[in-house]
């Protein structure tokens, strides 16, 4: 019998295909970017010869992992700012900003990113104000953004440049916080943070700077076994995503993963050609437009997520609705009629209720126009975050064609203060990823970078070791959230997500078997090699 020639044959491995929890094979063959064989070493030797044989020496192989919700441009942009993410006190934040001011010409902007006042050990979970930033400099306009991106703080000169004074009218979708006499205190929430995004120079506008940073960070993502990402624009904050940037990198051989780009301006998606059948069938085609990003509320860390009842630690505040019920439904229906998938940010229970209602009403309207269940389900509605969901909302979501884009690593950060925010009772239905899964909801895992780092391993670990036993997942289920499940959100499950015959050869080789080691050792897992379409996108040296 004539043996078939493969491009690559991986042998002697502990290869978890993720087709199901039990299937493990020893060898995997790759030809023209596609998986041509899975099975035993013995069968591989009988049936194939290969241009290259890789002896895995017992190493564990899994499908390539992904990030189902991140802001790649925003992450790259934060690298041009003063990174405040590692600061454990207000004192450290101000010191970092002073150091930047010392080497910055007077009058030039200083921009800080990723601060999180809930981690500070010298203040009681309180946001800084203009006075704190004035203590850094009164000769430099300074703006810093909270890690969630939903809150900004400016010093006095920055407020003056932006014409934000006693007479400033907030408008809808955002808030300027004020002192007793009406003077802005420097804190801006939600959509009003865009005031500064529109006037502060963006180093990423320099095409050479943007390219260098993007190439560096994409390579870094590949080092974590990532072979796919769904990246979201936020034009309102000048986080601009352009599929042409990724196409250009791909032409130069500089794109090491598959990219789906979601935009938050519907007009940018109108009349755009969808991915063709030829492109979709090619393992070497890496880019596609996703859908339409919508916002409903803010974040829990900023106390701007929309809640049914007030915040436990701020009794006069129920959060901020960025979109009304009517406005959200109008936008969702318009996009859906155009065949464009909707992905909506909803963190608080009140916001989630509004989004679910909008989906329910959109489906009713589509059916009145003759749409079938199959047509509607072809592009499922994505709900982003869904952090607070009482069972009444879970029951409603179960009946809908929805996919939940969750960030399991959020729990690790938020558990230090979430009880203060929402109280013990609401905590019971917060971050309940396994409850969602057991109720038949499909979850995809992400980082919301730059909110959290894009390394998927800590997110997997978080799902496995939850303190609440009912919310603990198996390693298999947790890994599926960050691999197998993600392609379902874009209709690509027939091509990627598992290591099966005919699928694209996207995979990661690990330095340990995450399925058998103690759960705490999962955090020590390193990726040895990442492949996309059977070609190395990253190798540990």
* pLDDT of res. 325: 97
Query: How far is 232 from 281, CA to CA, in rounded Å?
Result: 24
Pairing between β-strand 14-16 and β-strand 24-25 as defined by DSSP bridges: antiparallel
| Partners of 239 in beta bridges | 234
pLDDT band at 193 (very low <50, low <70, confident <90, very high): confident
Q: Give the pLDDT score at 272.
A: 85
User: pLDDT grade, residue 2 (50/70/90)?
Assistant: confident
In this structure, of 140-149, 171-180, 374-383, 385-394, the range with the lowest mean pLDDT score is: 171-180
| Exposure b/e, 75-85, CB count within 10 A at least 16 = b | bbbbebbbebb
pLDDT at 514 over 70: yes
| Residue 191 near residue 174, CB atoms below 8 Å | yes
Smallest CA-to-CA distance from 256 within 288, 228, 290, 231 is with: 228
For residues 76-101, average pLDDT: 94
Alpha-carbon gap, residue 130 to 185, rounded angstroms: 6
User: Do residues 219 and 199 make contact, with C-beta atoms less than 8 angstroms apart?
Assistant: no
Residue pLDDT, tens place only, 459-506: 999 999 998 999 999 999 999 999 999 999 999 999 999 999 999 999
**Cα 105 to the chain's mean position, in Å?**
35
Residue 172 CB contacts under 8 Å (≥ 6 apart), including other chains: 191
List strands edge to edge, sheet with 27-31.
Answer: 34-39, 27-31, 4-11, 48-55
pLDDT, position 94 = 96
Categorise residue 155: left if φ over 0, alpha if ψ from -120 to 50, beta otherwise. beta
The encoded tokens of residue 131 equal 């006075």
Percent of the chain with pLDDT strictly greater than 70: 100
- Cα→Cα distances 328→221, 317, 342, 425, Å: 33, 22, 11, 29
* End-to-end Cα spacing for the chain: 39
What pLDDT shows up at residue 1? 67
Nearest CA-CA partner of 392 in 352, 442, 425: 352
Tokens for 341?
A: 């998938």
A 10 A CB-CB count for 401 gives: 15
What is the C-alpha separation between 295 and 149, in angstroms, rounded? Answer: 13
Asked if residues 493 and 68 have their Cβ atoms less than 8 Å apart, the reply is no
Mean pLDDT lowest among 209-223, 268-282, 355-369: 268-282
Q: Collect all residues with Cβ–Cβ distance below 8 Å to 337 and sequence separation of at least 6.
A: 366, 369
Residue from 192, 226, 189 nearest 72 by CA: 226
Which of the four pLDDT bands, split at 50, 70 and 90, describes residue 236? confident
Asked if residue 319 lies in contact with residue 304, where contact means CB atoms within 8 angstroms, the answer is yes
Whole-number pLDDT of residue 316: 95
pLDDT over threshold 80, residue 171: no
Angstrom distances, CA of residue 421 to CA of 117, 123, 374, 415, 431: 14, 16, 41, 10, 14
Hunting for tokens 């044989």 — which residue is that?
53
**Cross-strand pairs, 445:** 406
What pLDDT does 129 receive? 95
Cα separation of 139 and 133, whole Å? 11
- pTM reported for the whole predicted model: 0.91
pLDDT value at position 125? 81
Mean pLDDT of the chain: 95
**Do 11 and 53 contact (CB within 8 A), yes or no?**
yes
pLDDT-above-90 percentage for the chain: 89
Q: For residue 434, is pLDDT > 80? A: yes
Residue 157 token pair: 């000169």
Note whether 444 and 405 are within 8 A (CB).
Answer: yes
Per-residue b or e along 296-323, where b marks 16 or more CB atoms closer than 10 Å to that residue's CB: bbbbbbbbbbbbeeebbeeeeebbbbbb
The answer to whether 40 touches 378, Cβ cutoff 8 Å, is: no
Question: Which residues touch 230 (CB under 8 Å, ≥6 apart)?
Answer: 66, 67, 68, 69, 70, 259, 260, 262, 290, 405, 446, 486, 489, 490
Query: Residue 107 CB: number of other CB atoms within 10 A?
Result: 10
């Amino acid at each position: 019998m004539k043996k078939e020639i493969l491009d690559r044959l991986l042998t002697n491995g502990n290869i978890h295909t993720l087709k199901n929890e039990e299937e493990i094979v020893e060898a995997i063959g790759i030809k023209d970017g596609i998986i041509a064989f899975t099975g035993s070493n013995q069968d591989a030797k009988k049936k194939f010869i290969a241009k290259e044989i890789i002896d895995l020496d017992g190493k564990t192989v899994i499908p390539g992992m992904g990030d189902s919700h991140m802001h790649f441009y925003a992450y790259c942009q934060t690298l041009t700012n003063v990174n405040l993410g590692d600061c454990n006190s207000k004192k450290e934040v101000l010191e970092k900003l002073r150091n930047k001011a010392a080497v910055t010409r007077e009058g030039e902007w200083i921009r800080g990113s990723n601060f999180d006042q809930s981690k500070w050990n010298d203040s009681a979970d309180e946001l800084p104000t203009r006075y704190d930033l004035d203590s850094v400099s009164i000769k430099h306009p300074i703006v810093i953004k909270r890690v969630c991106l939903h809150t900004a703080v400016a010093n006095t000169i920055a407020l003056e440049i932006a014409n934000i004074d006693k007479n400033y009218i907030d408008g809808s979708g955002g808030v300027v916080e004020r002192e007793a006499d009406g003077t802005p205190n420097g804190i801006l929430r939600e959509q009003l943070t865009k005031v500064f995004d529109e006037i502060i120079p963006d180093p990423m506008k320099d095409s050479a700077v943007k390219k260098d940073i993007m190439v560096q960070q994409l390579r870094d993502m590949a080092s974590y076994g990532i072979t796919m990402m769904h990246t979201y624009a936020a034009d309102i904050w000048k986080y601009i995503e352009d599929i042409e940037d990724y196409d250009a990198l791909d032409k130069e051989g500089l794109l090491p993963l598959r990219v789906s780009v979601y935009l938050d301006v519907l007009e940018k998606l109108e009349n755009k050609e969808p991915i063709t059948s030829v492109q979709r069938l090619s393992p070497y085609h890496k880019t596609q437009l996703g859908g339409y990003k919508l916002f409903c509320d803010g974040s829990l860390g900023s106390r701007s997520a929309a809640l049914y009842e007030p915040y436990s630690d701020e009794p006069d505040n129920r959060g901020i609705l960025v979109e009304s019920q009517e406005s959200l439904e109008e936008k969702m229906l318009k996009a859906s009629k155009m065949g464009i998938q909707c992905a909506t940010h909803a963190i608080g229970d009140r916001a989630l209720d509004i989004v679910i209602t909008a989906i329910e009403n959109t489906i009713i309207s589509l059916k009145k126009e003759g749409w079938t269940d199959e047509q509607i389900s072809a592009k499922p509605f994505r709900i982003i975050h869904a952090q607070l969901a009482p069972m009444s909302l879970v029951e409603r979501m179960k009946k809908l064609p929805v996919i939940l884009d969750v960030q399991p690593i959020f729990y690790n950060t938020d558990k230090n203060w979430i009880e203060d925010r929402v109280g013990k009772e609401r905590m019971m239905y917060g971050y309940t990823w396994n409850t969602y899964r057991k109720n038949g909801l499909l979850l995809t895992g992400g980082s919301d970078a730059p909110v959290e780092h894009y390394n998927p391993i800590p997110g997997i670990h978080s799902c496995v070791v939850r303190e609440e036993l009912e919310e603990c997942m198996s390693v298999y289920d947790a890994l599926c959230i960050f691999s197998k499940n993600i392609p379902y959100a874009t209709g690509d499950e027939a091509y990627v997500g598992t290591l099966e015959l005919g699928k694209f050869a996207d995979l990661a080789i690990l330095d340990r078997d995450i399925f058998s080691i103690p759960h705490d050792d999962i955090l020590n897992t390193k990726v040895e090699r990442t492949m996309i379409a059977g070609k190395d996108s990253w190798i540990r040296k």
